[in-house]
Structure 1
Amino acid sequence: MSLPPLDSLPAPTPTPASVATSVTTSVPAPALAPDPAPAPAPAPAPGDSPCATLRSTTHPPSTTRLTSLTRLVLALLPLLLIGTWAAVDWRALRDGVTRLGAADPWWLLAGVFFTLLGWVAAACVRQGALPERLPPGLLLASQFAAGAANHVLPASIGAHAVTLRFLQGRGIPLARATASLALYSLAKPVAKMPVLILFLVAFEDTLQLGGLAPDRWTLLLAAGSVTLGLATASLLLAVVRPLRRPAVDFLRTALTDVRILHTRPSRVLALWGGSAATPLLQGSVIASVGFSLGLPLSWAQVVFALLIASTAVGAVPAPGGIGPVDAALVFTMVALGAPMGLSTATVIGYRVLTVWIPLLPGTLVLSALVHRKVL
């Protein structure tokens, strides 16, 4: 059977779909307009760095001005507080400077030396309370600045705030920095008790404890206060549930850091050695000032007086311990046989030497650290 030729076959009838397809394929698509070129970024000024250009494009000028103004206020605020304090307490400053003007300069120089060692001891304790290694120069500068802030706010809040900002600036998380402050605050009174017991044993003959021994009611009052404080803290944690989780996390972090620290002999020596040396250095400053004025007490008696006074009223919230500790220190030295006038002059001279003289340079260091964004 033969097939018909192709030319003789009828042409297929076009359908609407094929017509549409042919029209679509035959008509050329319109050309797409090119995307507009992005606007070029402004070229940096000749003296600008790439980081400065990035900051200028990231933060608006109003935010930058507000941040600069805030830092300026924080830098000048310590100077304003110190000026206000000096205007309020100018009589004590005047009397102390007058007393020190007639004192033996060599003993005063020894007092300055022990004051400087006190800041070094504080920096050692701060380092011993943290596993990470901190830069020694900045750490010492921060403690010098913290000493100025400590005399403005009560209960060492100023010093702890400065140290907390410094640790966070070094990359320490907030929980671990807070645990370090708690360990620092706990180590100093705990290390003071063995020093006090050592003085009681070694200098029993020279220490006149008749007028200083507390009676039974005083001991009961102290024990009751400690028990009440612990019971109140436990009750708050048991009743207020939002406090429970942060407290547990804080304790877990603190115990972990304590375990790590006590596996490193250098940290143990810095923490506990510095804490034990702190009252000895403070007592040495008081003894040096007393010797320059002719105080008829030995070094052991003066240091013991400071240990007793700071232990008795050290928990009273006062800026830098000024006030309650001073009154207790004068009372203790008088009970040990010193005249009231010389004891008062010794304490005033001690405060001038350790508070008023370092206050202005310490405040300037604090402002400089804030300005340089170390704090």
Structure 2
Amino acid sequence: MTLVPPAAALPSALATAAPVRSPSAARLSRLTRHGLTALPLLLIGGWAVVDWPSVRGGAARLAAADAGWLLAALFFTCLGWLAAALTRQGAIPERLPPGLLIASQFAAGAANHVLPASIGAHAVTLRFLQSQGIPLARGTASLALYSLVKPVAKTAVLIVFLVALPGMLHLGELVPDDSTLLLAAAGVGVALVVAGCLLAVVPALRRPAVGFLRTALTDARLLHTRPSRVLALWGGAAATPLLQGSVIATVGFSLGLQLSWAQVVFALLIASTAVGAVPAPGGIGPVDAALVFTMAAFGAPVGLATATVIAYRVLTVWVPLLPGALVLSALVHRKIL
């Protein structure tokens, strides 16, 4: 016969059985949460100190620029965040809350400019997906699909430009020589061979890789049976470089740049394709130098091309950086991230 404890004894029994967090552990948890909330602002403040000359020079250029074109550039910048959110939604079967999704991409933009190779943006997005109940494996597969679709869509846009405007876009010295192409192909081949050998030799890597690949292929197949997701994924990815190029073009027009919209967008496509794999925060540095070089090859004065790129970075990086960091901190504080 089982003895049932009296009702008065139940609270004390439950209290004994349930784990109790010590005050020190709770205090440590609160301090960690506050530290993560303040971390984006601290990182951005340190970066501002390091890159202050560029910020000051770009702000001076923007102060003397045409206000109408700058408003157009700001409009295209906002559309870029919407395109990123649209692409993220297209890479996941579940419907995400639109407001929080856009806020997470705005915050991801701030994180992306602090850490290299889109690590910051992917980390913010992955945490957001997990907070919406998406398992880690499926969230990671979504990021992989997003990362794969973007360069494929950008290449498709580049091919369209090459086919549609063959006479306007003189490539000249922008086309790499045969040795450069051979070196790039060899680098890709070596990377694939090394990855294949590691997966074949190390079972601890092979098992999660196979599971991840199975999940990614299943989700990709499911997504491409839904027209709305296909349109969001591929349409958003194709619109992203066009919107970025439109921001650069309108900033350039505000400063007196004489290149056409098509030439500026094509210059961005060439520059980002050529050096986009270099792990710089937000593409800053290598892509900027390549973009200046490409616009100069199209006939823009080097000084004006440089001023355009610096002003573009101020408008798209530094102007939204503090609001983006505040949104990031707010999402962390509310435990959405």
Q: 1:302 aligned to 264, 273, 277, which one?
A: 264
Q: 2:293 aligned to 325, 331, 349, which one?
A: 331
CA–CA distance in 1 between the matches of 2:103 and 2:169? 38
CA–CA distance in 2 between the matches of 1:347 and 1:297? 14
TM superposition shift of 1:135: 0.3
- Are 1:149 and 2:111 counterparts? yes
Q: Could you tell me which runs of 5 or more consecutive residues in structure 1 were left unpaired when the two chains were aligned.
A: 1-34, 43-52
Query: What one-letter code is carried by the residue in structure 2 that aligns with 1:315?
Result: A
Q: 1:135 aligned to 74, 79, 97, which one?
A: 97
Of the structure 1 ranges 202-211 and 322-331, higher mean CA displacement relative to structure 2 is found in 202-211
- Are 1:288 and 2:250 counterparts? yes
Q: Which runs of 4+ in 1 moved over 6 A?
A: none
- Are 1:202 and 2:172 counterparts? no
Where 2:191 maps in the other structure, the secondary structure is helix
Query: What one-letter code is carried by the residue in structure 1 that aligns with 2:199?
Result: L
TM superposition shift of 1:61: 2.8
CA–CA distance in 1 between the matches of 2:67 and 2:232? 32
- Are 1:255 and 2:217 counterparts? yes
Partner deviation per Cα, 1:66-105 (whole Å, 9 max, x = no partner): 2111110000001000000000110000000001111001
> Which residue of structure 1 lines up, in the alignment, with residue 284 of structure 2?
322
TM superposition shift of 1:41: 5.7
CA–CA distance in 1 between the matches of 2:325 and 2:189? 39
Where 1:223 maps in the other structure, the secondary structure is helix
Q: Could you tell me which runs of 5 or more consecutive residues in structure 2 were left unpaired when the two chains were aligned.
A: none
Where do 1:1-375 residues align within 5 Å? Answer: 38=8, 58-375=20-337
**% identical aligned pairs:** 76
CA–CA distance in 2 between the matches of 1:279 and 1:194? 11
CA–CA distance in 1 between the matches of 2:239 and 2:192? 28
CA–CA distance in 2 between the matches of 1:332 and 1:236? 38
Count of aligned positions: 330
CA–CA distance in 2 between the matches of 1:116 and 1:360? 15
> Which residue of structure 2 lines up, in the alignment, with residue 8 of structure 1?
none
TM-score where L is the length of structure 2: 0.95
CA–CA distance in 2 between the matches of 1:338 and 1:225? 33
Query: What one-letter code is carried by the residue in structure 1 that aligns with 2:70?
Result: L
CA–CA distance in 2 between the matches of 1:237 and 1:37? 59
Partner deviation per Cα, 1:149-204 (whole Å, 9 max, x = no partner): 00000000000000010000011100000000000000000011110011011111
Partner deviation per Cα, 1:300-359 (whole Å, 9 max, x = no partner): 000000000000000100100000100000010011110000000000010001000000
TM superposition shift of 1:107: 0.3
Query: What one-letter code is carried by the residue in structure 2 that aligns with 1:326?
Result: D
CA–CA distance in 2 between the matches of 1:181 and 1:257? 12
CA–CA distance in 2 between the matches of 1:257 and 1:66? 39
- RMSD of equivalent CA atoms: 1.8
Query: What one-letter code is carried by the residue in structure 2 that aligns with 1:316?
Result: V
Where 2:212 maps in the other structure, the secondary structure is helix
CA–CA distance in 1 between the matches of 2:199 and 2:130? 27
Distance 1:196 1:36, change over 3 A: closer
Of the structure 1 ranges 148-157 and 231-240, higher mean CA displacement relative to structure 2 is found in 231-240
Partner deviation per Cα, 1:201-229 (whole Å, 9 max, x = no partner): 11111112112121111111111111111
Higher helix share: 2
CA–CA distance in 2 between the matches of 1:41 and 1:193? 65
TM superposition shift of 1:245: 0.4
CA–CA distance in 2 between the matches of 1:225 and 1:37? 72
Where 2:322 maps in the other structure, the secondary structure is helix
TM-score where L is the length of structure 1: 0.85
CA–CA distance in 2 between the matches of 1:207 and 1:120? 29
CA–CA distance in 2 between the matches of 1:41 and 1:175? 40
Query: What one-letter code is carried by the residue in structure 2 that aligns with 1:271?
Result: L
CA–CA distance in 2 between the matches of 1:36 and 1:209? 87
CA–CA distance in 2 between the matches of 1:62 and 1:120? 43
